[in-house]
Structure 1
């Protein structure tokens, strides 16, 4: 049963990612893909909060798995961020690709840390 709930949560997370990313990209005037950045940063913040809140609870296993692995696993997207950086490189925009990749890593780490800090 947990596998089905996990799959459903992952699908819902992927749908949420699509909606958030699409809404941001429609409004963005920047020439770099900010929608994926926003999605990944909010996912890292949420996973940090979830880990802090549920990590100490002995009976939070299935809930933590469904939300963390399922929903936020489907919501976040490292592969899209990698493809976007590669596309920037192919377009001859090496600086933008490096800034996108390094910025994504640093901001996502900071968001995860912030989530853990706020939850504890």
Structure 2
């Protein structure tokens, strides 16, 4: 990987990680913050895919920012934790709801980019 590409991903990742942390501080409700970043990140990535930007922009935003901002591992752990604490129904609502919302957001992003 070229040094410039690695730095581009790193800068985008740093911004994404700090943004993810800020959302976690602002939304102090378990699983809701993770769902919010996963849906928002899916939308941003959908827009990015829809406009097919230059490679460096795709690396910075798609790989770097969205990769660090969204969080599948936290989603998985929080879903298991919800199952343990609140029951299978809460965990299922979180899992299915987040997945459906994230897919809809990605589709909306692609559709929006197609009209821009």
Alignment of structure 1 residues 1-120 onto 2, 5 Å:
1-25=4-28, 28=29, 33-53=31-51, 55=52, 57=53, 60-120=54-114
Q: TM-score, normalised by structure 2?
A: 0.89
Quick one: distance in 1 between partners of 2:59 and 2:5?
9
Q: TM-score, normalised by structure 1?
A: 0.86
What's the RMSD between the two structures over aligned residues?
1.3
Query: What 5-or-longer segments of structure 1 have no aligned partner?
Result: none
Query: Are the counterparts in 1 of residues 50 and 109 from structure 2 also a CA contact under 8 Å?
Result: yes
84-93 vs 37-46, which moves further: 84-93
1:74 positional shift: 0.5
Number of aligned pairs?
111
- Displacement over 4 Å in runs of 4+: none
